[in-house]
Amino acid sequence: MNLHEILKRRERVIDAVRAFFKREGFTEVETPMLVPSPGLEPHLDPFEIRVAAARPLRYLPTSPEYAMKKLLAAGSGSIFQVCKAFRDEPPTENHLPEFTMLEWYRIGADYVRVMDDCERMCAFAAEAVCGTTKVNWQGSLLDLSPPYERIALRQAFRQHGSIEVTFAESLEELRETAQRAGCTDIAADDDWDEVFFKMFLRHVEPRIGGRRPTILYDYPARMAALARIKPDEPALCERFELYAAGLELANAFTELTDPAEHHGRFAADNAERRRLGKPELSLDPALLATIDRGLPECAGVALGLDRLIMLLTDTPDIRQVAARAD
């Protein structure tokens, strides 16, 4: 597929995404690209922008999450956005420091409801762009028609690696589990998350989302970010990730609404940044005021739109679909 064909198909994917969400009753929004707080997740690094010497530091957003949550609290209803997001990470075949994100929030929903959104939206886009939900991907057939495989993360470890985990383990307990599972690359200074991901990347990720996408749900509570903790299982949070053909496409939560818990997680994120030797990040006072007033019950999804376009153009390198000629 040449550049012209890829760009035309990219346009059709974005048109299909917009058509899907407007059909669902969502309102499209466009939030600022210069923000006072980019997102605090410790493993995401933002780009700093100095607008003028006399003004506070601004950032390019790692996602539009904070800005969209202000709108939700102000009464926007269910909203979606197609926008650029920025993360200071080296480019790879699957990632660019500047990429296109699709983010949406459904009012009155939980993470199970937006699993349905993911399935139906991907199928809708495939049908609109390719004329079928069965698309060619690097010599194999990928079926994007619902339902997708849905598997709890603990069950995925059990099924694909014969690994029993509760996600309540201490670092030492998790380290012992990983070593028994054949992870020989565990370093002495690896933290809990690093040990987890080494097991995940070895035993789970290569075995999911091959012929049909997979939704992995119920992540460790310590990886909740701003997801709600499961009321009956405090070691887990209401978070899922969507995988297809080896690509992580989306990350989603039942959104946290408790103001005190929000403040605690923000403080914990900055503490973790300090531990990792990274600078603390400021918080937007308007966001804090929004959180204190209260967010509506909702669920949100961030989806890498360039990666979906990769799948629908059978293109293995994100740089080829990113509408850039450098």
- Per-residue pLDDT reduced to its tens digit, 82-96: 999 999 999 999 999
Exposed e or buried b for every residue in 166-187, given b needs 16+ CB within 10 A? ebebeeeebbebbeebebeeee
Nearest C-alpha neighbor of 115 from the set 253, 15, 319, 293: 253
Decide which of 303 and 276 is more confident: 303
- The pLDDT assigned to 149 comes to 97
pLDDT digit string (tens) for 134-186? 999 999 999 999 999 999 999 999 999 999 999 999 999 999 999 999 998 99
- The pLDDT assigned to 268 comes to 93
Q: How confident is the model at residue 324 (pLDDT cuts 50, 70, 90)?
A: confident
pLDDT digit string (tens) for 182-226? 998 999 989 999 999 999 999 999 999 999 999 999 999 999 999
**Any idea where the domains of the chain sit in the sequence?**
3-147+284-320
- Is a pLDDT exceeding 70 seen at residue 55? no
Task: Check: CB of residue 245 under 8 Å from CB of residue 270.
Answer: no
Considering the chain, what is the average pLDDT of its residues?
94
Exposed e or buried b for every residue in 62-100, given b needs 16+ CB within 10 A? bbbbbbbbbbbbeebebbbbbbebbbeeeeeebebeebb
- The pLDDT assigned to 235 comes to 96
pLDDT digit string (tens) for 221-265? 999 999 999 999 999 999 999 999 989 999 999 999 999 999 999
Q: What residue spans of the chain are helical by DSSP H? A: 3-23, 65-73, 111-130, 153-161, 171-180, 192-203, 259-275, 285-293, 305-313
% of the chain exceeding 70 in pLDDT:
99
CATH class held by domain 3-147+284-320: alpha beta
Q: How confident is the model at residue 53 (pLDDT cuts 50, 70, 90)?
A: low
**Separation between Cα atoms, residue 126 and residue 137, nearest integer Å:** 12
